[in-house]
Amino acid sequence: MRTGSPPAYDPRSLLTADPWGEDLQLALHLLYELHYRGFDGVDDAREWDPDLLRLRQGLETRFLHALRTEVPDGARSVDEVFAPLLEEPVDLGGSVSRFLETDGELRHLREYAALRSLYHLKEADPHAWVIPRLTGRAKAGMVAIEYDEFGAGRAPDIHARLFADLMEDLGLDPAYGRYVDHAPAPLLATVNLMSLFGLHRALRGALVGHFGCVEVTSSPGSRRMARAMRRCGAGPAAERFYTEHVEADAVHEQVVRREVVGGLLADEPGLEADVVFGCAATVVLEDRLTAFLRESWDRGRSALRVPLAQAPRRTGG
């Protein structure tokens, strides 16, 4: 990217690349970042470099095929795919947020925050791409939610800023993209999914399904995470990020289901299968990440590719 030369790779390798592996997911993440903030020393014009876009398309094709293969055939309507998400499971034993709430230590919270920072430091940005592709109720509902995500006109309340404050409370570096080298493939895949859906107009239904899934499931998990931060003494800013989401996302859940999803399907009923796919694919990737994190922590090892530096000691109240 820095030299301006075409990417060097064997096109045949795209046919055999592991769609869940680190090589493919990291390559996709780097290519997607050209559409966000780019990289120092890389010409901004490379965002639309035909050679890089050709490579990205090949990687996306592998990833999309794997997602469509992995997504179960069960739900065929929006009501069916969202129904199980609207009620808390009786058994939360495998949940990451429940583990962090009841048994997690500060080191687990720091790892979790470092990984999630790859999205939360650009929270709501991937979803903003769908706004010009919507009309009427769907557009109005989407903008209303995004307005909250971006601080309702107040820069200090932008959710990405609140997460940066959380990271500082946890003794982490809040610089954008700081922990890419720490992130395993299951985490990169969750971030790549929303970029994939957001950058393609043809996948606008899937992006709305993804967004709906995130908003519907956010509030209960955020409540558990707030308790985890409080129990471990993570700090007021760390707790605030999640308490903010408990209240906001409870409202967003209603808006996204009735206005964004409902409005989109009223305008374009043929996109229902895409909305279902976007929601189901999100669940699949979050389940894969959950399994990876829990296996790592249950075995007493770090979930990161590179260990974190030790948190600095707190000085003061």
Q: Which two tokens stand for residue 29?
A: 């993440």
Helices (H) and strands (E) in the chain, counts: 14, 0
Gap between the terminal Cα atoms of the chain:
46
Phi, psi of 78 (to 5 degrees): -60, -40
Of 117, 38, 160, the residue nearest 308 (C-alpha): 117
Of 254, 22, 237, the residue nearest 145 (C-alpha): 254
Do 60 and 28 meet the contact criterion of CB atoms below 8 Å apart?
Answer: yes
pLDDT per residue of the chain (317 residues) written in tens, 0 to 9? 999 999 999 989 999 999 999 999 999 999 999 999 999 999 999 999 999 999 999 999 999 999 999 998 877 899 999 888 877 664 566 789 999 999 999 999 999 999 999 999 999 999 999 999 999 999 999 999 999 999 999 999 999 999 999 999 999 999 999 999 999 999 999 999 999 999 999 999 999 999 999 998 888 899 999 999 999 999 999 999 999 888 766 778 889 999 999 999 999 999 999 999 999 999 999 999 999 999 999 999 999 999 897 655 554 33
Domains in the chain (CATH in brackets) are 13-70 (no CATH), 78-298 (1.20.910.10)
The reported pLDDT for the residue numbered 90 is 46
Q: Which two tokens stand for residue 284?
A: 């699949």
Q: Is 250 helix (H, G, I), strand (E, B) or coil?
A: helix
Do 225 and 231 meet the contact criterion of CB atoms below 8 Å apart?
Answer: no
Q: Is 104 helix (H, G, I), strand (E, B) or coil?
A: coil
Q: What is the DSSP string of 1-39?
A: --S-PPP---TTHHHHS-TTSHHHHHHHHHHHHTTTT--
DSSP 184: -
Q: Is 155 helix (H, G, I), strand (E, B) or coil?
A: helix
The reported pLDDT for the residue numbered 317 is 34
Q: Which two tokens stand for residue 185?
A: 């493939």
The reported pLDDT for the residue numbered 313 is 54
Whether the CA torsion 56, 57, 58, 60 is positive or negative: it is positive
Of 211, 212, 218, 210, the residue nearest 88 (C-alpha): 218
Of 188, 65, 51, the residue nearest 115 (C-alpha): 188
The reported pLDDT for the residue numbered 315 is 43
d(C-alpha 311, C-alpha 171), whole Å: 5
